[in-house]
Amino acid sequence: MDKLYIIKIGGNVIDEDEALADFLKQFSTLSGRKILVHGGGKLATRLADQIQVPQTMIEGRRVTDFETLRIITMVYAGLVNKTIVSALQSHHCNAVGLTGADGNSVLAHKREHPITDYGFVGDIDTVDHSFLSHLLEQGLVPVFAPITHNGKGQLLNTNADTMAQEIARALSKTYQTILVFTFEKAGVLTDVKDENSVIAVITRSEYQKLKSGDKIFAGMIPKLDNAFRAIDEGVNRVIIGKAADLVELINGNAGTTITHA
Amino acid sequence: MDKLYIIKIGGNVIDEDEALADFLKQFSTLSGRKILVHGGGKLATRLADQIQVPQTMIEGRRVTDFETLRIITMVYAGLVNKTIVSALQSHHCNAVGLTGADGNSVLAHKREHPITDYGFVGDIDTVDHSFLSHLLEQGLVPVFAPITHNGKGQLLNTNADTMAQEIARALSKTYQTILVFTFEKAGVLTDVKDENSVIAVITRSEYQKLKSGDKIFAGMIPKLDNAFRAIDEGVNRVIIGKAADLVELINGNAGTTITHA
């Protein structure tokens, strides 16, 4: 099977023009099939402030009312997505910006929560792998904003990590998928204060040992649990590390690689 | 050759939720290959007011400074484009929202004007007909926001009428293209005050007669000159009429059809 990289960049990179430009330049040099999934960054919060739409966060998640959904659609699918697409084009990377509504590529339903109403937040049901593989086989590079739809005319705000993971899972039938999450740190660290304590490879048995020995920062556990879930679902491997190290992450010279065996 | 409809909707329809919903429902029922090009409407001006970015219009054209380009990208490529795409999806019309940067589909250059600096405004150089025909042959429906790029990382604000016309022209090599401009009036009128005075068909020789007999409202002349230019460049015919009459326009039962002979 052909390799496919699904790479997620977080909000912190999007907020810094230079860091973003460097990341996109590195991304454009990766040969072969690839998909980019981006977060939103602080731009949505800034715009909400400017037009006086109060924002509510519950456990780090944005409650998405009608006005907030409009803001998110403008910032994520408009400004951030098209800025990335045009920058990639300048590096001869033939990007196509998408939301889950485009090509009906990512269908979701509005989250039902017993206590909290998160508003227009979507949990993913299906990813159309045939639409995406058509694009990939034409040499195109899908660039996803973290927005899906319900097929009934409703756009939905969706977590970018989850979106990357679900896309990787769906495409694992057709490709050998490598899922790359970039974040602030150099990888999974044994000492959270020491950026040089990156664990290069974590297998499942190793993970159990690390967890029981309290060698992993608690904040990393949900990320790692998700990574192993992705692997159970057919993803070949998951890489976690700094956006600035993208090429090195892909080459296995930086970050943490999570694999089955 | 297969037929292809390129349909432009103007800002006035986009500003009215019900009119837009009705238009999109009609659009989704048209069988065969089709492309939608939308304008921006008043939303961009409203957002500019809210975030206090002064807007300058010169002869009805928006001067697009850096901040205005950001607003336009948010509103046109984000809010308007994705609202249309998700609505079309709810009618089982498999829309894909695009700007000219996506798939490098519409390349432009920044307008150079001897007197006025229009800012980030783009004049179109090339349309990638192979990218678009790939999408069309997969049954996808491209939906264009009026934004292009220069291939060097710069997005550019571009007139939606021109964009529709250039796309139609480029695809005339591969398809029998029918270009439909929807606007406020029922078609080309002999009496501007009488919506029943629509001229059903205008050929080139007829157009000369109407012009020399002063039977055409001056405001229509640039539109008609453009329509005949499109026909000279390979477009099969141009239809002008009301968005609310879309199906009837396509069937030749409403509006004005402009043809060569």
| Spatial contact of B147 and B37, defined as CB atoms under 8 Å apart | no
How does pLDDT run across B193-224, given as a tens digit for each residue? 888 999 999 999 999 998 888 888 777 888 89
Cβ–Cβ below 8 Å for B83 and A98:
no
Residues in chain A whose Cβ is within 8 Å of chain B: 47, 50-51, 70, 73-79, 81-83, 85-87, 89-90, 94-99, 101-104, 131, 134, 138, 140, 147, 149, 151-155
Interchain CB distance below 8 Å, B149 and A89: yes
How many residues are listed for chain A in this entry?
261
Mutate to test the interface with B, among A47, A67, A69, A82 (most CBs of B within 10 A): A82
- This prediction has a pTM of 0.96
Residue keyed to tokens 């756009």: A155
CB contact under 8 A, A90 and B152: yes
> Rounded to whole angstroms, how far apart are CA atoms A46 and A158?
19
DSSP string across chain A: --EEEEEEE-HHHHT-HHHHHHHHHHHHH--SEEEEEE--TTHHHHHHHHTT----EETTEE-B-HHHHHHHIIIIIIIIHHHHHHHHHHTT--EEEE-TTGGG-EEEEEPP-SS---BSBEEEEEE-HHHHHHHHHTT-EEEE-SEEE-SSS-EEE--HHHHHHHHHHHHTTTSEEEEEEEESSSS-BSSTT-TT-B-SEE-HHHHHHHHHTT-S-GGGHHHHHHHHHHHHTT--EEEEEEGGGHHHHHTTSSSEEE---
B126 contacts on A by Cβ (under 8 Å): none
Digitized pLDDT (tens) for each residue of chain A, 261 residues in all: 999 999 999 878 999 999 999 999 999 999 999 999 998 878 999 999 999 999 988 877 789 999 999 999 999 999 999 999 999 999 999 999 999 999 999 999 999 888 888 999 999 999 999 999 999 999 999 999 999 999 999 999 999 999 999 999 999 999 999 999 998 889 999 888 888 999 999 999 999 998 888 888 777 888 899 899 999 999 999 999 999 999 999 999 999 999 987
Site from B89, B107, B134, B141 to mutate, A interface, most A CB atoms within 10 angstroms: B89
What the block records as the tokens of A33 is 């099939």
Picking from A52, A79, A138 by the largest number of B CB atoms within 10 A of its own CB, the best residue to mutate is A79
Chain A environment of B78 (Cβ under 8 Å): 73-79, 81
Q: Searching chain A, which residue's CA lies closest to the CA of residue B91?
A: A152
The residue to which tokens 């405001």 are assigned: B219
Shortest distance between the Cα of A152 and any Cα of chain B, in A, equals 4
Alpha-carbon distance A72 to nearest alpha carbon in chain B (angstroms): 9
Q: B96 to chain A: which residues are within 8 Å by CB? A: 98, 102-103
Nearest neighbour of A50 by CB, restricted to B51, B75, B89: B51
Spans in chain B with pLDDT lower than 70: none
- Model-level ipTM above the cut of 0.85: yes
Rg of chain B in Å (alpha carbons): 18
